[in-house]
Amino acid sequence: MTALDVAAKDLKLLVRDARFLATLGLFSATLVLILSVAFGPVFRDPAREASATIWASLFFAGVLGLTRSLAMESETGGADAIRLTGADPYAVYLGKAFASFVLLAAVFVLLLPLTSVFFDVGDLSILPALAGVAVLALVGYAAWGTMFAALARGLPARELLLSVLLFPSLVPLWIGAVKLTHALWDTGSLESVRDWLKVMAVMDVLGLALAAWLFEAIQEAGE
């Protein structure tokens, strides 16, 4: 079983769960709306407030997505079935991480125009750079989140443990995403905060490397 097979399986399960997808989209959009009203009606620093809003919304949406993935694994016994196929553990991890990345990317595509409209920030010229920042942030989120979700699977308080592990681990990644997005929406340039690109890249590589080292042991511990 390849990583693409695992990703396709997880994405099919998510697509079939239309109620969850609708809830996730509505929750994320509502959070953007609530924060735009809380910061308004006159924004002091629209770029800063908008960048904090979109990444806070994505963070909480990601927690919901990972929590739902944990629940589906428990309900269907999917993780046990995949292990019985003899699939390479790291391929399983990469497939699940890719599925999480696709889900987060879809939420980002939904929230970006909403945030731009509600806060009146951004233009099309910065879209490629903003997409690059999003890829760096979401790859890291998927990498760390998938590993922690596997670690928490099967535990009584798995949702709580997942949140406790994610919050401190992703602080550098999320600070970088907010600062880079703020710079793009404020000045249209990343020059003043370019070092945060390196921080986010290191977080991405570290998450993927740790998973390559630990994921097999985490799988065996969950048996």
Poorest-pLDDT segment among 23-37, 51-65, 119-133, 206-220: 206-220
For 126, which DSSP code? Answer: G
The counts of H helices and E strands in the chain are: 9, 0
In the prediction, which pLDDT does 63 show? 86
pLDDT tens sequence across 162-195? 778 888 888 999 999 999 999 999 888 888 899 9
Task: Report how far residue 89's alpha carbon sits from residue 110's, in angstroms, rounded to the nearest whole number.
Answer: 32
Q: How confident is the model at residue 138 (pLDDT cuts 50, 70, 90)?
A: very high
Q: Is 172 helix (H, G, I), strand (E, B) or coil?
A: helix
Task: Report how far residue 207's alpha carbon sits from residue 152's, in angstroms, rounded to the nearest whole number.
Answer: 16
Task: Report how far residue 223's alpha carbon sits from residue 198's, in angstroms, rounded to the nearest whole number.
Answer: 37
Tell me the two tokens of residue 172. Answer: 């550098």
Nearest Cα neighbor of 101 from 27, 184, 7, 38 is 7
Task: Report how far residue 136's alpha carbon sits from residue 202's, in angstroms, rounded to the nearest whole number.
Answer: 10
Angle between helices 89-119 and 18-39 (to 10 degrees): 40
Mean pLDDT across the chain: 84
Cα–chain center distance at 3:
18
In the prediction, which pLDDT does 80 show? 58
pLDDT surpassing 80 at residue 205:
yes
Other beta carbons less than 10 A from residue 30's beta carbon? 11
153: CB partners within 8 A, 6+ apart: 70, 73, 74, 79, 222
